Amino acid sequence: MEKKKKFYFDVKWLFIIAIVAFLLIFQVFPLVYLVIRAFIADGSFSFDAFARIYSSDMNWTCVLNTLITASLSMVFGVLIAFPLAFLVGRTNLYGKKLFRTLFLMTYMVPPYVGAMAWLRLLNPKVGTLNMLLQNIFNLSEAPFDIYSIGGLVWVLTTFYYPYAFITLSRAMENMDPSLEEASRISGSSPVKTLFTVTLPLMLPSIAASALLVFVAAASCYGIPSIIGAPAKLYTITTRIVDYVYVGSADGLTDATVLAVFLMVLALVILFISNFVIGKKDYITISGKSVRPNIVDLGKWRIPITILVSLFAIVVIVIPFVSVFATSFTVNMGKSVFEEGNFTFKYWETIFSRGSILRSAGNSLVSSVWAASLGMVVCIIMAYLLKRTKVPGRKIPDFLITVGSGTPSVVIALALIMTMSGRFGINIYNTMWIMVVAYMIKYMLMGMRTVVSALSRVSPSLEEAAQVSGAGWLRRLKDVLFPLIVPSVVAGWFLIFMPCFYELTMSNMLYSDQTKSLGVELFLYQTYHSQQTAAALAGCILIIVAVLNFVMNKVTKGKFSI
């Protein structure tokens, strides 16, 4: 019996070694190489490349642009998300469930779709919203210009505030209501309680959510590439991609330095919010389902509901409608409702043009691979992490977290520089380099889902089967697996969806044979036909909504984005 136990132990080690080896080769080595390359360009260690970044106006401006847009998006994102999270989670606002779904919807939409929509709405010459406002208020000039820092910040904010919203509402809903009740019983008014108890308790969550928005906005490529490029507004991410396209040695060095700057920024923030703020988090989830105190808005209930509705219409409904409207419009200068300006031809195009269908097929295949391989890794890792005491079981978890925190452009750049044959592995120009990139970036979602499912299954459930006489495999089959299946399915979808419409990494890694759906859409948006791009975006939105609905049904409402 003792022997058998030792045997299991060895198998666990094999799994760990295999997974760690995968992560070391495809994640750690490329990223480390990138850092080394930034300092050692031509054989000797130097800060030359860094110095050049600061002395080159072009690069310096893009660093500044990134920091400014990300900081402003962070501030506005939290300013929007906190009241919304409070209103939806803790008050008697009307239609809370609907609002919650709406606010989380941008979560499952590719960022470039938002950029396309706002471009259409706030274009200084033909923007629909601009024209509408000009007519209403009789203005001689368009009130908004999307091609500006302000426009970029606006789109980034509307896109990334849900990241803060979801963190903050979770924190608000998990807070032990007796903490606030204690304040009320001590004589505090509801408002005073909000400022003296609720807010201070939430500070760590607020800080964490702010950093989350900052990193997401700074690492974003889709939005600045669609809005910034025509306005000649460059950010670190767009600059890196440009250098990669040009492909000169100096350019690659500059790209590397910018990438290392962005990576260090993102990982330092990840570290701060996970290990510094995380430790200070007072909000503990108790076993019981806590029912938060609901604040009565009183006479403000209707006005505030109207205000929130207006926000939702402007930020969510109008952009989505605009994407669909664009996809049916012949002449972009006129309204879709004008005589003869309505057409189905762009939708016909996306279902008939060979290159589009091939790209969709490519995306489908590589996302299925990424999600399936990713889940195998996640399940094994989660089991080792939660059910064994194997030393080193936390290493893969750590690496997966770091991978997900690394900006997409950085991952792609690192893979390009190391996986194109120079070090014995050449998967450049194949689908596999994308699969690897997708896994590194998106495995964390699957991992978190399975880990939390496993933590909810009390070990005594397995022990009860063991006392009943069930062996290891039998226990996994009868007890553990049936209980975590919904989470495994959900985890698979959570990896699959972002991979399916991924743009940033695909855009840097694709070849003619492996063009992805996101790239196809981006090329149409930028060079060919905005209407075709809109039809594609609409199609992606529908697919994502359907998948989300299926996932919700399969997991009995426990999971959806």
Partner 1 sequence: MSVITLDHITKKFGDSVVLNDFSDEFRDGEFVTLLGPSGCGKTTMLRMIAGFEKPTSGEIRIDGRIVSSADTFVPPEKRELGMVFQSYAVWPHMNVFNNVAYPLKIRKLPKAEIKEKVDKVLESVHLSQYSKRMPSELSGGQQQRVALARALVAEPKVLLLDEPLSNLDAKLRERMRFEIKEIQERLHINVIYVTHDQGEAMTMSDRVFVINSGVLQQVGTPVEIYRSPKNQFVADFVGKVNFLKGVSDGGKIKLSGIDDTLDYSGPVSGEVDVAVRPENIHIVNGDAHLHGKLVSEFFTGDTNDCRIAVGSSELRVIADAATYGKFSSEDTIGLEITDMLVFPSASDDLTKIRT
CA 308/CA 306 separation, integer angstroms: 5
470 sits near partner 1 (criterion: CB under 8 A): yes
307 sits near partner 1 (criterion: CB under 8 A): no
Smallest gap from Cβ 10 to partner 1, in A, equals 17
CA 93/CA 298 separation, integer angstroms: 10
71, 349, 430, 466: which one contacts partner 1 (CB under 8 A)?
Answer: 466
336, 479, 521, 541: which one contacts partner 1 (CB under 8 A)?
Answer: 479
Nearest to 510 by CA among 522, 495, 494: 522
Backbone torsion region of residue 388, taken as left when φ is above 0, otherwise alpha when ψ lies between -120 and 50, otherwise beta: beta
H or E element in which residue 378 lies:
helix 354-387
468, 511, 513, 526: which one contacts partner 1 (CB under 8 A)?
Answer: 468
Which CB sits closer to partner 1, 286 or 458?
Answer: 458
Candidates 20-28, 311-319, 321-329, 468-476; binding stretch for partner 1 (CB under 8 A): 468-476
Residues 4 to 43 in contact with partner 1, rule: CB under 8 A: 5
Smallest gap from Cβ 137 to partner 1, in A, equals 58
Inter-helix orientation angle 345-352/530-554, to 10°: 70
185 sits near partner 1 (criterion: CB under 8 A): no
290, 483, 489, 547: which one contacts partner 1 (CB under 8 A)?
Answer: 483
460 sits near partner 1 (criterion: CB under 8 A): yes
DSSP-assigned beta bridge partners for residue 91: 295
Question: How many residues lie near partner 1 (CB under 8 A)?
Answer: 20
489 sits near partner 1 (criterion: CB under 8 A): no
Amino acid identity of 412? A
Which CB sits closer to partner 1, 5 or 232?
Answer: 5
Amino acid identity of 212? L
Nearest to 276 by CA among 214, 203, 193: 203
Q: How far is residue 269 from each of residues 235, 263, 471, measured CA to CA in Å? A: 19, 10, 45
CA 171/CA 15 separation, integer angstroms: 35
181 sits near partner 1 (criterion: CB under 8 A): no
452 sits near partner 1 (criterion: CB under 8 A): no
301, 425, 478, 523: which one contacts partner 1 (CB under 8 A)?
Answer: 478
What is the SS3 string spanning 495-540?
Answer: HHHHHHCCCHHHHHHCCHHHCCHHHHHHHHHHCCCHHHHHHHHHHH
CA 437/CA 507 separation, integer angstroms: 12
467, 512, 527, 556: which one contacts partner 1 (CB under 8 A)?
Answer: 467
Candidates 121-129, 386-394, 435-443, 459-467; binding stretch for partner 1 (CB under 8 A): 459-467
412-451 footprint of partner 1 as x/- string (CB under 8 A): ----------------------------------------
Which CB sits closer to partner 1, 56 or 460?
Answer: 460
Smallest gap from Cβ 471 to partner 1, in A, equals 6
Smallest gap from Cβ 487 to partner 1, in A, equals 13
Smallest gap from Cβ 466 to partner 1, in A, equals 4
Smallest gap from Cβ 398 to partner 1, in A, equals 24
455 sits near partner 1 (criterion: CB under 8 A): no
CA 242/CA 449 separation, integer angstroms: 36
458 sits near partner 1 (criterion: CB under 8 A): yes
476 sits near partner 1 (criterion: CB under 8 A): no
CA 327/CA 415 separation, integer angstroms: 35
454 sits near partner 1 (criterion: CB under 8 A): no
Candidates 22-30, 384-392, 463-471, 502-510; binding stretch for partner 1 (CB under 8 A): 463-471
**Tokens (6 digits) for 195:** 């400022």
Q: Residue 139: is it exposed, middle or buried by C-beta count within 10 angstroms (0-12/13-18/19+)?
A: exposed
Smallest gap from Cβ 5 to partner 1, in A, equals 7
391 sits near partner 1 (criterion: CB under 8 A): no
**Tokens (6 digits) for 78:** 């939290």
297 sits near partner 1 (criterion: CB under 8 A): no
H or E element in which residue 466 lies:
helix 459-467
Give me the DSSP letters along 64-106: HHHHHHHHHHHHHHHHHHHHHHHHHHHB--TTHHHHHHHHHHG
280, 334, 422, 474: which one contacts partner 1 (CB under 8 A)?
Answer: 474
Q: How far is residue 328 from each of residues 272, 348, 554, measured CA to CA in Å? A: 46, 11, 33
Is the CA virtual torsion 429, 246, 221, 253 positive or negative? positive
Which CB sits closer to partner 1, 128 or 555?
Answer: 555
Q: Give me the residue label for tokens 């452009």.
A: 409
Smallest gap from Cβ 3 to partner 1, in A, equals 10
Which CB sits closer to partner 1, 466 or 552?
Answer: 466
Candidates 205-213, 218-226, 340-348, 475-483; binding stretch for partner 1 (CB under 8 A): 475-483
| 3-state DSSP assignment of residue 214 | helix
- Note the residues at the interface with partner 1 (CB under 8 A): 1-2, 5, 458, 460-461, 463-471, 474, 478-479, 482-483
